Chain A
Amino acid sequence: MSAAAQPAAAGALLSIKGLRTAYGKIIALKGIDLEVREGEIVALIGANGAGKSTLMMTIFGNPRAQSGRIVFDGEDITQIATHDIARRRIAQSPEGRRIFPRMSVLENLKMGTVAAPRSSDRDLERVLNLFPRLRERLTQRGGTLSGGEQQMLAIGRALMAHPRLLMLDEPSLGLAPLVARQIFEAIRELNRTDGVTVLLVEQNAFHALKLAHRGYVMVNGLITMTGSGHELLERPEIRAAYLEGGRH
């Protein structure tokens, strides 16, 4: 099922212009333009090493952009400290999930509320309703969860801050297809009922583009294609590069 209708509010929540990032001599982002509007799911697809994770981390100021501008909700956040960016309620489930392995599931979720001090029990309920498996494991240590559960925890932790923009880096990575589908379903649910804006980084292009309102294709640090999720799915070059054998 595709989300064809554009969301009503169409102001740009996140707007990136000419963003360049380098690790020493390696230039990972070579001038990225990207926009995420309020209420959208935007998918960012591309091969391994294209720079997708780098883009997500640069939005968080770690690493810092060499040049270019990142504007969130009308404010230039390009040079702001990482923790202050988080406090503007941009939340992420980063590459590698980065949950706190020795802390319990509940403590992990609680850590998500740092950026939103007024986060309530309702937010916890919302997360636990979205991922019932976490409810059964609240006292379990994060490090002992399965991969899928850790992913749910990472997303849940990000949601505890009641984010205006949720960024997910390869949430389906390493998960069994069934579990991956659960995660995608949860993202769709979040977007539809709570209006959460989502920037989704995926290698699983088929699912990501089916889910997304719009998509961007990244190759070697550059955006090479953009369009609605539908359009991109129909493009022969995308089918060839990202979808062969990728359909489950």
Chain B
Amino acid sequence: MADTTVPPPSSISGPRLGRAVRSALITAVVGAGLFSLMIGVRTEAGPAGGLVFWTRWTELGWMVAASFVAGFVREIVIQRSGEGVLEALMPAAFKRFINVVARLLGPALLAFAVLMPIIFYDQRYILDLGILALTYVMLGWGLNIVVGLAGLLDLGYVAFYAVGAYSYALFSTTFGLSFWLCLPIAGILAAFWGVLLGFPVLRLKGDYLAIVTLAFGEIIRLVIVNWQSLTGGPNGITGIPRPSFFGVPFSAGPEGFAELFGIAFSPTHRIVFLFYVILALALLTNWVTIRLRRLPIGRAWEALREDEIACRSLGINTTTTKLTAFATGAMFGGFAGAFFATRQGFISPESFSFQESALVLAIVVLGGMGSQLGVALAAVTMIGGFELFRGLDQYRMLVFGMAMVAIMVWRPRGLIGSRTPSIYLKTPTQISASLVKEGHG
């Protein structure tokens, strides 16, 4: 248990060294997993619409080596000076600063998000980036229900994103259904697939669960690639209806949005609308999660993450608890997928590769499994970070990777590793939701 403090040894001897190496290896393996698909292989849409990708195994090698060294040093430092040392290295003023920031950060981020389309009205690039970041915030929050709250390691989350995207694409192109009608359908279908995935993996834990969910993600993608008559195969689906303002299209014509509201036509209207749609969807995800955490089902998810056997002995039906976690997480993935489809107007299997699952999982893990704010921060930092260092090209992945190594080593539980209790007595005695606690794991 975490509360047993090991007396600091005077010298590092055999078994301790072995432990340090093992701990470093684990860090390196986790690092390899996180980095391989984000640094090792990069894919981008080429000029002709095809997929361009390039590999950089050297950089990947360096990152994994860095993870190993950092993990090793961390373990040695901890062995020498006890668990609390990494925290003690942080000045008290810095801790206080982090605490204040943490309290104001959520509301500040929200206010900024709401005002973004106004501040950056004529900077389409930034708005597009904002939409992308919010999509990942939403995906992160959705997966957070499964991984962060219920503790079920799901490597195939992108499958539900795909189900949502293809549901909207197919229902809108073949039956002409509107986005708002398709949205719940996409969510329900994704949730259905979530339950379907849930059943076979109910008895699996840890690594096995991860592998099976990974396979599930790939199966869905392969089905999409091969079921040409329905999904268009590798060519995908084009001509997906763009979003309308509740029936009013964002077009320049007399029936268009601009005309109706008596303003000059601008293509930005649609972008701003999309921005607020994904913001609303993401906030819905967050709101539902926060509400569910306070209900018996949400508490059961969190308890399940901590101790499954104890849950059962307390009368929790772990089967339905797991299935509802999968279904709820999948539903939000489906919503996000439908949004993705309407925003792009074009979808193909390439958008739903394992790389996406890995990225969303990295967001949840680095954000601090279970912390809503942490996940949002991680999503924004990652997507923003990718862009920020785009100019540095060669070095951007290095900087980015370094940041990830630093988080893994310093905060193995993620940016915000502490959880806030979901119930208090009627007269709440708020405990500090310290950002600095719980460095060990």
Contact = CB atoms under 8 A, between A and B. Distances in A.
B315 A139 contact: no
Interface stretch (B85-93, B176-184, B298-306, B398-406): B298-306
A98 B299 CA distance: 16
A101 interface: yes
Contact of A115 (B1, B299, B306, B315): B315
Contact of A87 (B299, B307, B315): B315
Interface in B332-388: none
Given A111-B299, A143-B3, A103 B312 contact: no
A91 B312 CA distance: 11
Between B2, B312, B315, B423, the greatest number of chain A beta carbons within 10 A of the residue's beta carbon is seen for: B315
Contacts of A112: 314
A50 B314 CA distance: 25
A103 B306 contact: yes
A82 B311 CA distance: 10
Contacts of B424: 106, 139
Nearest to B419: A102
B315 A161 contact: yes
Contacts of A161: 314-315
A144 interface: yes
B105 interface: no
B310 A100 contact: yes
Contacts of A86: 312-315
A34 B424 CA distance: 41
B316 interface: yes
A82 B431 contact: no
Contacts of A100: 302-303, 306-307, 310
B422 interface: yes
B239 interface: no
Contact of B302 (A92, A103, A106): A103
Interface string A136-178: 0011100110100000000001000100000000000000000
Interface secondary structure of A, over-half rule: loop
Contact of B317 (A62, A83, A102): A83
Nearest to B296: A114
A110 B316 CA distance: 12
Contacts of B1: 101, 143
Contact of B303 (A111, A139, A146): A111
A182 interface: no
Given A101-B1, A111-B303, A114-B300, A62 B310 contact: no
Contacts, number: 89
A103 B315 contact: no
Interface string B274-308: 00000000000000000000001001101100110
A139 B421 contact: yes
A199 to B, nearest CB: 14
A100 B299 CA distance: 11
Nearest to B431: A139
Contact of A106 (B306, B313, B419, B421): B421
A60 interface: yes
Contact of A114 (B315, B423, B429): B315
A88 to B, nearest CB: 9
Contacts of B422: 107
B299 A94 contact: no
Listed residue (B296, B307, B313, B429) with the most chain A CB atoms within 10 angstroms of its CB: B313
B423 A82 contact: no
Interface in B10-45: none
Interface string B424-437: 11000111000000
B309 interface: yes
Interface of A: 60, 62, 81-84, 86-87, 91-92, 94, 98-104, 106-107, 110-112, 114-115, 138-140, 143-144, 146, 157, 161
11 contacts: A62-B309, A83-B318, A100-B306, A101-B2, A106-B421, A107-B422, A111-B299, A111-B314, A115-B314, A143-B3, A157-B314
Interface of B: 1-3, 296, 299-300, 302-303, 306-307, 309-318, 419, 421-425, 429-431
